[in-house]
A and B are shown apart, each in its own frame.
Chain A
């Protein structure tokens, strides 16, 4: 099989040796492995981008999930940004609100594009459509953002995991945030190595994050985890662009994430038996939503 890269080191080395962007290497690999033309591949990604944009537009107008657990926070955030008094900055909060918007639509069983999963679908598009207002990218550059994200996600999926049930939230929102950081760096004009630094710095700070959804729903705390994933990725991207590097190489951070996921109790991997799901309020919410008695016992 024609694989251009198995890990981040090979990805970065190839991009730097050939003087290409990470996104370009991903497109070339997709052409090799699928046998499809560049145009077909770009067109499919373009359609995914449209789905992401539509989900954000829907979410920032306000949606509610069936359970009522989530929805409406993207609207609160947009209104707050409009007042002009935000402390953490408009771009960052805009990314946060758009990540929240996407995941609120997801929780309401709306149409989204998984990046890399549905539970973590807010981070990549949320940051993209916020950074867009600052960097004014072309449509092609926005599509490239998704290929750069995809290249890093591809390495994580094959060398570790992108499944909350297998690796905890670090594998989902952690991976998504790292992917977004790398893509932000490329769009802002950073080098392939800086993309890898952005990914590594982000994921390092999401290691150990458990998957503990209340009532087993992709709502609490998933929506806010996407918010913080977006914030984390923007700060890490800025750090990488400033020249800050990770002492632990990117691939080793991914390896650490995998081993932490293996060591994590199944109670903390999308079974709704531990963490926030097992708090008194978490259990009461589950009982209210699905009926029946509150299940006792902590994990």
Chain B
């Protein structure tokens, strides 16, 4: 079931003109920023399908940049996001693509700064609702509707149990969990949807667990 709340249907409150191309786009930008953990200094934004064809008319471009600046769907500042980005030191570039994607409203955001970079694929599935379908090459399905933790780790026995134990110690309940890896024995990814927002100290503790290379969170 993709839509779980009546407020996915009657909502969100947002700046026009399009729920999928404006509000959903803002959410994709914001979730990418959350996953990156800080405001990026640069962003290469690849747009596919309907996004690529109509992004200027729908304000998809200002909305994604607004999301990268941490603006919510109803934030009036979305309209001035380009100018705001310049002031905030965020350089961005839009690249309309012609390749076919599984979903017509897909964006691939490659964002980074001096410390590192990250690639996030977001899809806007209608009414402002989004899913994250790929992070740094890992296929996953993240709705953004629930707080979540993403853990990149070495593909070794015990990693998953150690992270689950750490969450249990902090009384954090796991609602949904997915694990995936690009290649056996190399790097793997855990996607853990949880019932409540995660405190920074929990993230720090998880990052101290052996063989964990990176921890990101999305709060709701």
Contacts and interface: CB of A to CB of B under 8 A. Distances in A.
A195 B217 CA distance: 42
Contact of B10 (A29, A149, A270): A149
B4 interface: yes
B173 to A, nearest CB: 11
A271 B55 CA distance: 10
Given A121-B16, A150-B7, A179-B9, 10 more contacts: A106-B16, A114-B13, A118-B17, A118-B19, A158-B1, A158-B3, A162-B9, A165-B20, A269-B50, A269-B104
A111 B14 contact: yes
Contacts of A161: 126
Interface stretch (A43-51, A132-140, A224-232): A43-51
Interface stretch (B56-64, B85-93, B132-140): B56-64
Q: Which of A45, A114, A116 has the most CB of B within 10 A?
A: A114
B7 A119 contact: no
A157 interface: yes
Contact of A149 (B8, B9, B19, B125): B9
B11 A48 contact: yes
Contacts of A33: 4-5
A150 B54 contact: no
What is the size category of the interface that chain A forms with chain B? 35 or more
Interface of A: 1, 3, 26, 29-30, 33-35, 41, 44-45, 47-48, 51, 105-119, 121, 124, 146-147, 149-151, 153-154, 157-158, 161-166, 171, 179, 213, 215-219, 266, 269-273, 289-290
A163 B15 contact: no
A interface: dominant SS: helix
B6 A272 contact: no
B140 to A, nearest CB: 20
B127 A162 contact: yes
B6 A154 contact: yes
Interface in B5-49: 5-20, 22-23, 49
B23 A118 contact: yes
A166 B126 contact: yes
6 contacts: A1-B1, A109-B15, A112-B14, A115-B10, A117-B19, A165-B105
A114 B2 contact: no
Interface string B179-195: 00000000000000001
Given A109-B16, A114-B14, A119-B19, A163 B57 contact: no
Contacts of B56: 216, 290
